[in-house]
Amino acid sequence: MTTCTPRAAWGNLLRRLHFYVGLFVGPFIFFAALTGTLYVATPQLESALYRHALYTNTVGEPLALAQQIAAAEKIVGPALQLHAVRPGLAYGETTRVMFADAELGPSEHRAIFIDPLTLEVRGDMTVYGTSGILPLRQKIDYLHNSLMMGDFGRLYSELAASWMWVSALGGIALWFSTRPKRRIVNRFQNRRRLHVILGWTLLGGMLLFSATGLTWSKWAGGNVDKLRAEMNWLTPQVNTTLSGTPVITHEHAEHRSHHGAMERPEITRDLSLFDGVFHAARDAGIDANKLEIRPARRANQAWTVAEIDRGWPTQVDTVAVDPHALQIVDRIRFDDFPLMAKLTRWGVDFHMGILFGVVNQLLLIAFGVALSVLIVWGYRMWWIRRPAQSAANPVQTLFQSWLALSRWGRGITLLVSVMLGLALPVMGTSLVVFIIVDWLRWRSTFPPSLFPSA
């Protein structure tokens, strides 16, 4: 095997890995970017499409929550159990009464939309997760997360999230190691320059979306949760038991359907408690116009009233209320969240395009389009520069590039690869596949004598 300098050996390894990630994982990243862009671009379309359910033109004082809930229960009948209520507090908004339905998927609920002034039923549809998205964006979300193929489909999004940060950082490192000392003007360098400019511009976003995407993933997500728990980065939740210890909640429950459906609540039939709990929470400082009242799952638990405004400034304070004494038994303020829990909350909300409203949407649309262009342009560069079969070199395999490293280099990369493979199982499995495919391709093209042993 031809020897090369350590710098050249590392450059060959980076180039080959960057090539394989782009060639095999690039399409998945492209599809995730495309569907993610579609997701963040459609809130206004969804609002217009379901306007009759979401809004009302009636004017006056809203009726009691108990009456609104009773109107919704007449529609669904006694078979479904009440899950939560989102009062229509802003002018012109309807109240959303959500029921647990065994025929729906995890994190899905049947929602009845009630005019809070006239008790008119304005809509009846499935809503999903904490964000409460409606059927249009729910389909886009499932497409983005799992290709609408359930847990098996989540492999694609986890593959994209696992490798995107590697591709981004590897591309930057490759540029540093191969950039010419003086400006060279030719067609290929001009194409490469655009690819590099887009890579630098999108670097921060790729790292952010890779990290937040991994927190939602099926396999790596559990490892991320364990790390966050060890580092005390998890989001605290109010203690809902009247005697017990606080529990922990996930700040992105709307995407974690793989952890199973919500437990069905066992609540009292006294609907007037909703009004009492609501006013107790208001008196305790829960002042957002977007909030959710969730009855206790068991008789010895408190109810929760949570702010669900993920915009800026973020309003996600929560109180636990004793529904009979109407006393606050616990509270969690966003201001008191650990720093990493706040950063996670903001990162997730930015990922979903809701942190800064329209500005957030426009940024993510621009990012998604630019990332798609970056990937397509990378394919174009490869297609133009692809070697003829007769000019191929077996030393350019990923495995042979790794063998060209020093003993220390091989040991460090092997250790890092094993650690990443354990932490990010989809990445580890796909890396093994890359190596096997790479080796088999060259093995079938060149005689064994061209493959020197280590």
Q: Are residues 191 and 245 in the same domain?
A: no
Q: Are residues 325 and 378 in the same domain?
A: no
Is the pLDDT at 254 greater than 60? The verdict is no
Q: What is the pLDDT of residue 232?
A: 82
Q: What is the pLDDT of residue 448?
A: 53
pLDDT one-digit tens code per residue, 356-402: 999 999 999 999 999 999 999 999 988 887 765 544 554 467 888 88
How far out from the chain centre does Cα 66 lie?
Answer: 35
Q: What is the pLDDT of residue 40?
A: 96
Q: Are 224 and 215 in contact (CB under 8 A)?
A: yes
Show which of 306, 334, 352 is a domain's final residue: 352
Q: Are residues 178 and 255 in the same domain?
A: no
High-pLDDT (> 70) share of the chain, %: 87
Q: Which helix or strand (DSSP H or E) is residue 174 part of?
A: helix 150-178
Print the domain residue range for 203.
6-40+145-218+357-450
Residue 118 lies in a domain: no
Residue 172 lies in a domain: yes
Q: Are 135 and 156 in contact (CB under 8 A)?
A: no
Q: Are residues 280 and 421 in the same domain?
A: no
Q: Are residues 242 and 225 in the same domain?
A: yes
Show which of 352, 382, 403 is a domain's final residue: 352
Residue 209 lies in a domain: yes
Q: Are residues 233 and 204 in the same domain?
A: no
Q: Among all chains, which residue has been given the structure tokens 């782009």?
A: 22
Residue 89, SS3?
coil
* Average pLDDT of the segment spanning 217-239: 88
Q: Among all chains, which residue has been given the structure tokens 């992105």?
A: 252
**Per-position b or e across 293-305, b if 16+ CB within 10 A of its CB:** bbbbbeeebbbbb
Q: Helical H runs in 179-302?
A: 187-216, 220-230, 272-283
Show which of 307, 334, 352 is a domain's final residue: 352
Q: Which two structure tokens, joined as six digits, stand for 435?
A: 């190596």
* Average pLDDT of the segment spanning 104-133: 95
Is the pLDDT at 265 greater than 60? The verdict is no
Q: Among all chains, which residue has been given the structure tokens 């890092």?
A: 416
Q: Are residues 308 and 327 in the same domain?
A: yes
Q: Are residues 402 and 347 in the same domain?
A: no
pLDDT one-digit tens code per residue, 67-106: 999 999 999 999 999 999 999 999 999 999 999 999 999 9
Q: Which two structure tokens, joined as six digits, stand for 149?
A: 């193929």
Q: What is the pLDDT of residue 230?
A: 87
* Average pLDDT of the segment spanning 105-131: 95
Q: Are residues 203 and 286 in the same domain?
A: no
Q: Which residues contact 311 (CB under 8 A, 6 or more apart)?
A: 349, 354, 355, 356, 357
pLDDT one-digit tens code per residue, 158-177: 999 999 999 999 999 988 88
High-pLDDT (> 90) share of the chain, %: 67
Q: Are residues 159 and 260 in the same domain?
A: no
Whole-model pTM: value is: 0.86
Q: Helical H runs in 217-338?
A: 220-230, 272-283
* Average pLDDT of the segment spanning 193-211: 95
Q: Are residues 437 and 323 in the same domain?
A: no
**Which among 86, 221, 246, 73 is positioned nearest to 145, based on CA atoms?**
221
pLDDT one-digit tens code per residue, 406-442: 999 999 999 999 999 999 999 999 999 988 888 887 7
Quote the CA–CA distance of 429 and 87 in Å, as a whole number: 47
Q: Based on the structure, what is the number of domains in the chain?
A: 2
Q: Which two structure tokens, joined as six digits, stand for 186?
A: 């030719």
User: Sheet containing 95-100: which strands, arranged edge to edge?
Assistant: 121-128, 108-114, 95-100, 81-86, 291-294, 303-307, 318-322, 327-332
Residue 117 lies in a domain: no
Residue 199 lies in a domain: yes
Mean pLDDT of the chain: 88
Number of Cβ within a 10 Å radius of residue 36: 27
Q: Are residues 31 and 162 in the same domain?
A: yes
Residue 428 lies in a domain: yes
Residue 185 lies in a domain: yes
First to last CA, the chain: 9
Q: What is the pLDDT of residue 248?
A: 42
Residue 97 lies in a domain: no
